Amino acid sequence: MYKELAVALGLGAVVALVFLKKRKRVLKAQDGWWGVGACPQGPEDDSIRPFKVETTSEEIEDLHHRLDQTRSFPSLEDSQFHYGFNSRYLEKVVSYWRNDFNWRKQVDKLNKYPHFKTRIEGIDIHYVHVKPKNLAEGTHAVPLMMVHGWPGSFYEFYGIIPLLTEPSSPDDITFEVICPSIPGYGFSEAPRKKGFDTVCAAHIFNKLMKRLGFNQYYVQGGDWGSVITTNMAQLDPKAVKGLHINFAPPGQAGLFVMLSILFGRRFPKLFGFTEHDVKRLFPTIEKLVVDTLRESGYMHIQSTKPDTVGRGLNDSPVGLASYILEKFSTWTDPEFKNLEDGGLERKYSLDDLLTNVMIYWTSRCIISSMRFYKETFGKGLNQPHAKLPVYVPTGVASFPNEVVHSPKLWVTQKYHKLKTYTPMARGGHFAAMEEPQLLAEDVQNFVKIVEKRKKK
Amino acid sequence: MYIELAVALGLGVVVALVFLKKRRKSVLKAHDGCWGVGACPQGPEDDSIRPFRVETTSEEIEDLHRRLDQTRSFPSLEDSQFNYGFNSKYLEKVVSYWRNDFNWRKQVDKLNKYPHFKTKIEGIDIHYIHVKPKSLAEGTRAVPLVIVHGWPGSFYEFYGMIPLLTEPSSPDDITFEIICPSIPGYGFSEAPHKKGFDSVCAAHIFNKLMKRLGFSQYYVQGGDWGSLITTNMAQLEPNAVKGLHINFAPPSKGGLLIMLSILFGRQFPKLFGFTEHDVKRLFPTMEKLVVDRIRETGYLHIQATKPDTAGRGLNDSPVGLAAYILEKFSTWTDPEFKIQKFGLCFSLDDLLTNVMIYWTSGSIISSMRFYKENFSKGLNQPHAKLPVYVPTGVASFPNELTHSPKSWVTPKYYKLKTYTPMARGGHFAAMEEPQLLAEDVQNFVKIVEKREKK
Higher local confidence (pLDDT), A123 or B6: A123
Higher local confidence (pLDDT), A69 or A25: A69
**pLDDT classification of A456: cutoffs 50, 70, 90:** very low
Residue of B nearest to A380 (CA): B291
The alpha-helical segments, DSSP class H, found in A285-388 are 291-295, 297-302, 306-311, 317-330, 344-347, 350-363, 366-377, 384-387
Query: For strand A175-180 and strand A217-221, is the pairing parallel, antiparallel, or unpaired?
Result: unpaired
**pLDDT classification of A250: cutoffs 50, 70, 90:** confident
Among A373, A385, A415, A442, the one annotated catalytic: A373
Closest partner CB to A84 (pick from B70, B71, B307): B307
Query: For testing the chain A interface, which of B71, B84, B303 should be mutated: the one with the most A CBs within 10 Å?
Result: B84
pLDDT at position A318: 98
Q: How do residues B423-438 score in pLDDT, each as one tens digit?
A: 999 999 999 999 999 9
Q: How many beta-carbon pairs under 8 angstroms link A with B?
A: 193
Distance between CA atoms of A60 and A65, rounded to whole angstroms?
A: 9
Half-sphere exposure of residue A40, counting CA atoms within 13 Å on the CB side? 10
pLDDT at position A341: 96
User: A176 to chain B nearest CA, in Å?
Assistant: 35
Residues 6+ apart with CB under 8 A from B408: B249, B251, B254, B257, B258, B261
Interval B441-446 mean pLDDT: 97
Residue of A nearest to B378 (CA): A290
- Model confidence at B13: pLDDT above 80: no
- Model confidence at B345: pLDDT above 60: yes
Q: Is the peptide bond before A151 cis (omega within 30 degrees of 0)?
A: yes
In percent, the amount of chain B with pLDDT more than 70 equals 95
Interval B284-292 mean pLDDT: 90
Average pLDDT, chain A: 94
pLDDT at position B337: 67
pLDDT at position B25: 64
Burial environment of residue B134 by CB neighbours within 10 A (0 to 12, 13 to 18, 19 or more): exposed
- Model confidence at B310: pLDDT above 80: yes
Closest partner CB to B320 (pick from A77, A315, A374): A315
- Model confidence at B454: pLDDT above 50: no
Burial environment of residue A233 by CB neighbours within 10 A (0 to 12, 13 to 18, 19 or more): buried
pTM, entire model? 0.93
Query: For strand B124-131 and strand B241-246, is the pairing parallel, antiparallel, or unpaired?
Result: unpaired
Q: Do B312 and A319 touch (CB under 8 A)?
A: yes
Query: For testing the chain A interface, which of B63, B74, B124, B370 should be mutated: the one with the most A CBs within 10 Å?
Result: B74
Q: How do residues B360-371 score in pLDDT, each as one tens digit?
A: 999 999 999 999
Name the 3-class secondary structure at B127: strand
Half-sphere exposure of residue A288, counting CA atoms within 13 Å on the CB side? 18
pLDDT at position A252: 72
Residue B51 host element (H or E):
strand B49-52
Is there a catalytic annotation at residue A429? yes
Closest partner CB to B316 (pick from A308, A315, A374): A315
**pLDDT classification of B26: cutoffs 50, 70, 90:** confident
Helix B348-361 with B88-100: angle, nearest 10 deg: 80
- Model confidence at B41: pLDDT above 90: no
pLDDT at position A200: 97
pLDDT at position B9: 79
Chain A contact set for B297 (CB, 8 A): 300
Region of residue A242 (left: phi > 0; alpha: psi -120 to 50; beta: else): beta
pLDDT at position A13: 74
Average pLDDT, chain B: 92
pLDDT at position B344: 58
Q: How do residues A163-178 score in pLDDT, each as one tens digit?
A: 999 999 988 999 999 9
Q: B300, A299 in Cβ contact below 8 A?
A: no
Q: How do residues B69-108 score in pLDDT, each as one tens digit?
A: 999 999 999 999 999 999 999 999 999 999 999 999 999 9
Closest partner CB to B309 (pick from A66, A84, A191): A84
- Model confidence at A379: pLDDT above 90: no
| Phi, psi (deg, nearest 5) at residue A124 | -75, 125
Q: Do A193 and B369 touch (CB under 8 A)?
A: no
Amino acid letter, B287: E
Is there a catalytic annotation at residue B97? no
Interval A356-382 mean pLDDT: 95
pLDDT at position B339: 45
Distance between CA atoms of A394 and A392, rounded to whole angstroms?
A: 6
* Sheet of strand A418-423: strand arrangement: A48-51, A115-120, A123-130, A175-180, A142-147, A217-221, A240-245, A394-398, A418-423
Distance between CA atoms of A347 and A303, rounded to whole angstroms?
A: 29
Closest partner CB to B308 (pick from A78, A87, A371): A87
* Sheet of strand B416-421: strand arrangement: B49-52, B116-121, B124-131, B176-181, B143-148, B218-222, B241-246, B392-396, B416-421
Helix B348-361 with B104-111: angle, nearest 10 deg: 80
Residue of B nearest to A75 (CA): B308
The alpha-helical segments, DSSP class H, found in A111-222 are 161-165, 198-211
Higher local confidence (pLDDT), A135 or A66: A66
Distance between CA atoms of B84 and B86, rounded to whole angstroms?
A: 7
Residues 6+ apart with CB under 8 A from A312: A319, B313, B314, B316, B317, B319, B320, B321, B323, B324
User: B37 to chain A nearest CA, in Å?
Assistant: 8
Higher local confidence (pLDDT), B71 or A252: B71
Interval A63-84 mean pLDDT: 97
Among A223, A236, A333, A442, the one annotated catalytic: A223
Q: Do A308 and B193 touch (CB under 8 A)?
A: no
Q: Do A297 and B303 touch (CB under 8 A)?
A: yes
* CA A315 to each of CA A276, A357, B74, B103: distance values in angstroms, whole numbers, following the listed order: 42, 13, 11, 23
Distance between CA atoms of B367 and A320, rounded to whole angstroms?
A: 20
Chain A contact set for B37 (CB, 8 A): 77
Name the 3-class secondary structure at B64: helix
pLDDT at position A56: 98
Interval A272-298 mean pLDDT: 94
pLDDT at position B429: 96
Q: What ipTM does this complex have?
A: 0.92
Radius of gyration of chain B, Cα coordinates, nearest whole angstrom = 23
Q: How do residues B239-273 score in pLDDT, each as one tens digit?
A: 999 999 999 999 877 788 899 999 999 999 999 99
Is there a catalytic annotation at residue B156? no
Interval B386-407 mean pLDDT: 95
**pLDDT classification of B327: cutoffs 50, 70, 90:** very high
Among B159, B371, B413, B419, the one annotated catalytic: B371
Q: Do A194 and B87 touch (CB under 8 A)?
A: no
Chain B contact set for A69 (CB, 8 A): 63, 67, 316
Distance between CA atoms of B211 and A262, rounded to whole angstroms?
A: 54
- Model confidence at B342: pLDDT above 50: no
- Model confidence at A353: pLDDT above 80: yes
Q: B388, B415 in Cβ contact below 8 A?
A: yes
- How many CB atoms are closer than 10 A to CB A338? 12
Distance, first Cα to last Cα, chain A:
47
Interval A337-354 mean pLDDT: 97
Chain B contact set for A323 (CB, 8 A): 309-310, 312-313
Q: A341, A162 in Cβ contact below 8 A?
A: no
**pLDDT classification of B19: cutoffs 50, 70, 90:** low
**pLDDT classification of A17: cutoffs 50, 70, 90:** low
Q: How do residues A396-441 score in pLDDT, each as one tens digit?
A: 999 999 999 999 999 999 999 999 999 999 999 999 999 999 999 9
